[in-house]
Amino acid sequence: MKLTYRREEDLKLRNMSLVSLTTDFGDLYPAAMKAVILGINPEVQIVDVTHSIRQAEIREGAFALYSLVPYFPPKTVHVGIVDPGVGTSRRALAIKAGKTGQEQYFVGPDNGLLIPAARRLGEMEIYKITNRDFMLKSGISATFHGRDIFAPVGAHLSGGLEIEKVGPKISDFVDLDFGNFGIDGPFLIGEVIFADSFGNVITNIPEDVILKFSAFGSQVEVNGRQAPFVQTYGFAGQEEPLILIGSHGFLEIAVNGGNAALKFGLKNGDRVAIKII
Amino acid sequence: MKLTYRREEDLKLRNMSLVSLTTDFGDLYPAAMKAVILGINPEVQIVDVTHSIRQAEIREGAFALYSLVPYFPPKTVHVGIVDPGVGTSRRALAIKAGKTGQEQYFVGPDNGLLIPAARRLGEMEIYKITNRDFMLKSGISATFHGRDIFAPVGAHLSGGLEIEKVGPKISDFVDLDFGNFGIDGPFLIGEVIFADSFGNVITNIPEDVILKFSAFGSQVEVNGRQAPFVQTYGFAGQEEPLILIGSHGFLEIAVNGGNAALKFGLKNGDRVAIKII
Amino acid sequence: MKLTYRREEDLKLRNMSLVSLTTDFGDLYPAAMKAVILGINPEVQIVDVTHSIRQAEIREGAFALYSLVPYFPPKTVHVGIVDPGVGTSRRALAIKAGKTGQEQYFVGPDNGLLIPAARRLGEMEIYKITNRDFMLKSGISATFHGRDIFAPVGAHLSGGLEIEKVGPKISDFVDLDFGNFGIDGPFLIGEVIFADSFGNVITNIPEDVILKFSAFGSQVEVNGRQAPFVQTYGFAGQEEPLILIGSHGFLEIAVNGGNAALKFGLKNGDRVAIKII
């Protein structure tokens, strides 16, 4: 989707690159990462995916990154840091994923955080970051590898560094998936993988599986509570529960104008059982 | 206000454009919009106006955009999304507003959200977005037109797309204003249009109307409670209420170092009556 | 740390500049500052350090800026605004600090906020902002100098304006420091200067002083409560307190996976006494 209505020569001198940040750092710490990134690559675009992942909730961070990765352009470098093992022996990774010409890059700890997003793009090449040339020159702290290792390596990748330069290629890595789902007798079974800031509960059940099980307009029971399966929030009454295919492409439990996580008492990892009634 | 002290040739190759975002999306979802925008126009500047509009509070979002629009440079594209009707039959709009050479653009749902801001700039041309060439290529979801329609159309406009290309010009649209205000006997009457994150209560009473009614230094009663009318917070005692002309250009009720919304029990839409004492 | 793997000619047309923002403005108001900055210097990079400084807590804002300034590249312009005296007679300052070729700039109120950060870089030149040519053309409000004075002056400095042009050089200014610390008999004494969004308590005791007093692995008492002195969070048990040298370079009191500010009942300005046991 290019700007075809614009003179091509307007664009040919530019080559803006893109770094995304996904962390559990809250306030203040992300700015240190941005300072480091812009000191290395002054013209990069930085997008905050979120800094509000609950502390040390790797699976939640993995889902945030996974859900957004299809919308980013090729060459994007995703720096993801939910890193309870910082300063211990856990490895630091850089990953190249996707078809030639469509690759995106990932930088972060070896704890599974980056894997679902990278795998979603196709083939992965995984490297262990060992080359100190691409880390912060002023020293590596024991508690903030986001600033001292991941931000500078991400900035260098965004500037065109060949990923092979960061360290040796590896084939073992800590994996992570979003759990099991499927149809079990009269039930469609899955798991909660994320609750967003509005209390919408996102499950691990993909669009195609729910559409095989049920059709828009049917009435279902979600963990024993009645709700319609509809296309969008506006098709349920105010404060009424509903299920829909969310914008992430997964079955989502919502309350129109309300908080489904509270109403259903559901949190990350909880089981969801849906039955047509 | 140009950088006259800088060699002009330094700037002539650049043509950075600007997209602002005003939504009730909270965390995570704005990043999907930014990914889409930067995939289309990699060199655009993106400014978050706010993503904390209370859910579905169209009037609150309209005020946020209205209050900021005079400070943005010409050509800015404002993407505004507070959209309880997403996925239903409500129309999608693109608006060009302001004098030739000074135009700003607006993209969002046809529910009044964009109108006060656009009208503040002068003449408006309003278009209904129908051309799928400028929407997300991978498909339009029923729940996230911010990502699938408004972000890509905004990105294309920021890159120089002629607004006529998005769809037909229309003259009917959903209007919105900030309610009535005026002098009624001994009272200056108005309505709350916004409470900011500090609890400052912003009314719909403009600067010129309050200055006709009263003068700096006078003592007034606000909904029966005494307060001075002063130039700035520091002219009231700690924890003391005051009224002032806020930075938005409207009469504002504040508490120096405190929360006026709580102290006065005021929220969006509430009536305010002021009397000189 | 330059991008040596990239053709130099790719970069020579670019000269992106950097403005950081540190305020107690919360939501919405920072966007007005960004609109003004980008209207003046359309190609600048803007980094939000934080907008969540507690209202009027100058010392907290000073620490945020102080802790981040070593990570920003030369020429960065830091706009810092925690300004309870806005609209009164307090002066507006612009500061150049650091060695020739490595300078960073600071813009904000004369209340001490900018001083620790500027002084950390070395020599300071301090100017009183009086030249209205570099303020907002549409007028100066009494309550929002962030938008009307500090943002435009910062934008002009980021675009290459000589700092001497903003107004006269001064030598008196409001100073601020982070309080006393040191070894007193069996105790290492200091003060809390910041509690971050996770409840980690940062003191004013620098790395070298704590390392003179104790060694990693020792057990200490912090305000009467036992904790190990370790390199990183992961070296304490879940929910267990610890002390460490934080990423800011100061002694920090933390709880692994918990909130030390709550557990120790500590807030900004409180005294901390540490004893080896």
pTM of the complete model: 0.93
Predicted interface score ipTM higher than 0.90: yes
Cβ distance A50 to B27 less than 8 Å, yes or no, reads yes
d(CA B68, CA B70): 6
How big is the CA angle at A66 (ends A60 and A68), to the nearest 5 degrees?
110
Residue with tokens 């806020």: B246
Instruction: List the single range of A182-196, B4-18, C15-29 with lowest mean pLDDT.
Output: B4-18
pLDDT at position A15 is 57
Is the CB of residue B248 less than 8 Å from the CB of residue B202? Answer: yes
Residue A202 has pLDDT above 50, yes or no: yes
Residues 6+ apart with CB under 8 A from A81: A21, A22, A23, A24, A25, A108, A109, A113, A145, A146, A150
Mean pLDDT score across all residues of chain C:
92
How big is the CA angle at C274 (ends C270 and C277), to the nearest 5 degrees?
155
Strands B18-23 and C124-128: unpaired
pLDDT at position B234 is 79
What number is the average pLDDT over the span A61-79? 96
Q: Three-class SS string for A70-91?
A: HHCCCCCEEEEECCCCCCCCCC
Q: Per residue in C183-219, pLDDT tens?
A: 999 999 999 999 888 899 999 999 999 999 999 999 9
pLDDT at position B66 is 95
Taking every pair of Cα atoms in chain A, the longest distance, rounded to a whole number of angstroms, is 63
CA distance C245 to chain A (A): 9
CA distance B168 to chain C (A): 30
CA distance B110 to chain A (A): 15
Residue with tokens 């500590």: C266
pLDDT at position C13 is 37
Residue A166 has pLDDT above 50, yes or no: yes
What number is the average pLDDT over the span C81-107? 94
pLDDT at position B5 is 57
CB of B41 less than 8 A from some CB of C: no
Q: Which of residues 140-179 of C touch B (CB under 8 A)?
A: 141-144, 147, 152, 156, 159-162, 165
Residue A1 has pLDDT above 60, yes or no: no
Domains of chain C: 2-170 (3.40.50.10790), 182-276 (2.40.30.90)
Q: How confident is the model at residue C138 (pLDDT cuts 50, 70, 90)?
A: confident
Q: How confident is the model at residue A168 (pLDDT cuts 50, 70, 90)?
A: very high
Q: Per residue in C54-88, pLDDT tens?
A: 988 999 999 999 999 999 999 999 999 999 888 88
Taking every pair of Cα atoms in chain B, the longest distance, rounded to a whole number of angstroms, is 63
Cβ distance B71 to C15 less than 8 Å, yes or no, reads no
DSSP string, chain B: ---TTS-HHHHTT----EEEEEES--SSHHHHHHHHHHHH-TT-EEEEEES-SPTT-HHHHHHHHHHHGGGSPTT-EEEEE--TTTTSS--EEEEEESSTTS-EEEEEESSSTTHHHHHHTS-EEEEE---GGGS-TT---SS-HIIIIIHHHHHHHHTT--GGGGS-EES----------EEETTEEEEEEEEE-TT--EEEEEEHHHHHHH--TT-EEEETTEEEEB-SSGGGS-TT-EEEEE-TTSEEEEEETTB-HHHHHT--TT-EEEEEE-
Q: Which chains touch C (3 or more CB pairs under 8 A)?
A: A, B
Tell me if residue A31 falls in helix, strand or coil: helix
Is the CB of residue C235 less than 8 Å from the CB of residue C242? Answer: yes
Residue C4 has pLDDT above 80, yes or no: no
pLDDT at position A155 is 97
Q: How confident is the model at residue B4 (pLDDT cuts 50, 70, 90)?
A: low
Residue B11 has pLDDT above 80, yes or no: no
DSSP A98: S
- Kind and range of the H or E run holding C30: helix C29-40
Residue A75 has pLDDT above 90, yes or no: yes
pLDDT at position B216 is 92
Residues 6+ apart with CB under 8 A from A126: A93, A94, A95, A169, A170, A171, A173
Residues 6+ apart with CB under 8 A from C238: C256, C257
Cβ distance C50 to A38 less than 8 Å, yes or no, reads no
Residue B198: how many other CB atoms lie within 10 Å: 18
Residue C8 has pLDDT above 50, yes or no: no
Tokens read off for A44: 């990069």
Nearest to B26 among A10, A197, A235 (CB): A197
Q: Which of residues 209-268 of C touch B (CB under 8 A)?
A: none
Residue C272 has pLDDT above 60, yes or no: yes
Residue B95 has pLDDT above 60, yes or no: yes
pLDDT at position A9 is 41
Length of chain B: 277
d(CA C232, CA A88): 8
Tokens read off for B171: 């003259």
Residue C252 has pLDDT above 70, yes or no: yes
pLDDT at position B82 is 97
CB of C13 less than 8 A from some CB of A: yes
Q: Per residue in B155-173, pLDDT tens?
A: 999 999 999 999 999 999 9
d(CA A194, CA A186): 25
- Kind and range of the H or E run holding C195: strand C187-195
Q: Is B214 exposed, middle or buried (0-12, 13-18, 19+ CB in 10 A)?
A: middle
Angle between the N-to-C axes of helices A58-68 and B29-40, in degrees from 0 to 180, rounded to the nearest 10 = 30
Could you tell me which residues are beta bridge partners of residue C237? none
Torsion angles phi and psi, residue B104, rounded to 5: -120, 160
Residue B233 has pLDDT above 90, yes or no: no
CB of A28 less than 8 A from some CB of C: yes
pLDDT at position A257 is 85
Is the CB of residue C241 less than 8 Å from the CB of residue C222? Answer: yes
pLDDT at position A11 is 40
d(CA C168, CA C176): 22
What number is the average pLDDT over the span B66-75? 96
Cβ distance A159 to C5 less than 8 Å, yes or no, reads yes
What distance lies between CA B9 and its chain's CA centroid?
Answer: 35
CB of C64 less than 8 A from some CB of A: yes
